[in-house]
Amino acid sequence: MSYDDHDDHGHHGSWAPIIASFGTMLFLYGFAEGNIGLIAIGISILVWGLFAWWKGDLPFDGSEKMGELKSFGTPFGGINVRKAGIWLFLMSEVMIFGTFFGAYTRMRSGWNTHWTLRGKAEEAVEAGAPGNAESIYDTCISHGHVNESACFDATNGLVNNSFWVTDAGTPAYHHVAAEYVTADFWTLLPGAVNTFALILSSFTVVLALKAAKNIDLEPRVRDRKVRNYLTVTLLLGSIFIALKLYEWNHLIHEGFTISTLAGSFFYVTTGAHGVHVFVGLVFISYFIYKAHIGGWDHNNAQSIEYYGLYWHFVDLAWVLIFPAFYLY
């Protein structure tokens, strides 16, 4: 490894991330086992690791401005090590969300209303229902939305209430969130606002990075700009979380719960994305504090860039989740 702004300071690699990772491991293991004690210990170690990590960053005595480590091996030769590391991390994130999308696509293409109803429509035609299977299918799903009563009539009762709801009254597994969301614009509105909020927050992170790297700005002006842009990002992310919880509350009250197959895909995927947003908000809170005390300049602004890569990926995931889970 080499340095781009080498000085006499040796590089002080931090042990804090491995501690935070260990705490995360204990927390998740405790969560899976339902062990409250282990959850508490894991969270405590995680928080300790994060505080130690940030405390090590705070002195601003110049040691943190020694420059970025650069790798020299294939394939990342000449690239900042931390930058390559973030991209490697994002590779794993792609796989995580890829599995969510794969499972969701499996459900939508295979077991969900469209294929199932095509089969039901054919059965209805064979049983004497008027029209052909395609027209019955179009009646059941008008503009992509389920029309239960029309479907009941068109299939001579073959697709009856038990197909749509369980005995307990909750929707059967093949209802998807989009049926509840796009049916009413005011239900779709939180999701649309969230999309705008995340895209805008990605832009404000870019603006914060530009301000931090701008050597022509007065230090106080630079600090204020970076702090303000990051604060707007934090606010927009908080709006996202708040609207997400509002949406979930609304959908659950409508009967679209995690106990259904489609619901489990929806809530796990959007929940995982929400956790990623929340983690991003935790980190940006520290960045805002650091900007407030004048900790950023062009020498160490790369940290904002690397955070930005994570935040833009979160935005990217939402750009794909929103049309797939809310609009389609």
Partner 1 sequence: MGEHHTGWQKTLFDKTGKDVYFWNFMILMLFTIVEVGAVYMSISYGATLFALVSVGIVKFFGIAAFFMHLWDDERELTYTFAFPFVFVAILFIGIAFTNPAGVIALPAWCSPEFIGSYSSTGP
Under rule CB under 8 A, residue 102 binds partner 1: yes
Under rule CB under 8 A, residue 202 binds partner 1: yes
Q: Where does this chain touch partner 1 (CB under 8 A) — which range of 205-213, 234-242, 249-257, 280-288?
A: 205-213
* CA within 13 Å, CB half, 190: 17
Residue 68 to residue 88: CA distance in whole angstroms? 17
Of residues 35, 147, 214, 238, which one binds partner 1 by CB under 8 A? 214
Under rule CB under 8 A, residue 232 binds partner 1: no
Nearer to partner 1, 95 or 220 (CB): 95
In the numeric block, the tokens 């609207």 are attached to 243
Q: Which of residues 7-26 bind partner 1 (CB under 8 A)?
A: none
Under rule CB under 8 A, residue 119 binds partner 1: yes
Residue 206 to residue 74: CA distance in whole angstroms? 29
Give the torsion through C-alpha atoms of 91, 97, 98, 100, to 10 deg: 160
Residue 288 to residue 171: CA distance in whole angstroms? 44
Name the helix (H) or strand (E) containing 212: helix 185-213
Q: Which residues contact 11 (CB under 8 A, 6 or more apart)?
A: 3, 66, 69
* Minimum distance of partner 1 from residue 204's CB (angstroms): 9
- Can you read off the two tokens belonging to residue 108? 């939508």
Of residues 106, 161, 245, 275, which one binds partner 1 by CB under 8 A? 106
**Amino acid (1-letter code) at residue 23:** G
In the numeric block, the tokens 């919880």 are attached to 245
Under rule CB under 8 A, residue 320 binds partner 1: yes
Under rule CB under 8 A, residue 283 binds partner 1: no
Contacts with partner 1, 157-196, as mask; x by CB under 8 A: -----xx--x-----xxx-------x--x--x---x--xx
Of residues 48, 60, 76, 283, which one binds partner 1 by CB under 8 A? 76
* Minimum distance of partner 1 from residue 98's CB (angstroms): 4
User: Does residue 278 contact residue 241 with C-beta atoms inside 8 Å?
Assistant: yes
Under rule CB under 8 A, residue 87 binds partner 1: yes
Under rule CB under 8 A, residue 267 binds partner 1: no
Under rule CB under 8 A, residue 55 binds partner 1: no
Of residues 58, 94, 127, 245, which one binds partner 1 by CB under 8 A? 94
Neighbours of 137 (CB within 10 A): 22
Report the candidate in 181, 164, 186, 193 with the shortest Cα–Cα distance to residue 260: 164
Q: Where does this chain touch partner 1 (CB under 8 A) — which range of 35-43, 248-256, 276-284, 302-310?
A: 302-310
Residue 192 to residue 50: CA distance in whole angstroms? 33
Residue 123 to residue 24: CA distance in whole angstroms? 52
- Can you read off the two tokens belonging to residue 300? 């160490």
Q: Note the residues at the interface with partner 1 (CB under 8 A).
A: 75-76, 78-79, 83-84, 87-88, 90-92, 94-95, 98-99, 101-103, 105-106, 109-111, 115-116, 119-120, 143-144, 162-163, 166, 172-174, 182, 185, 188, 192, 195-196, 199-200, 202-203, 206-207, 209-210, 213-214, 261, 305, 308-309, 312-313, 315-316, 319-320, 322-324, 327-328
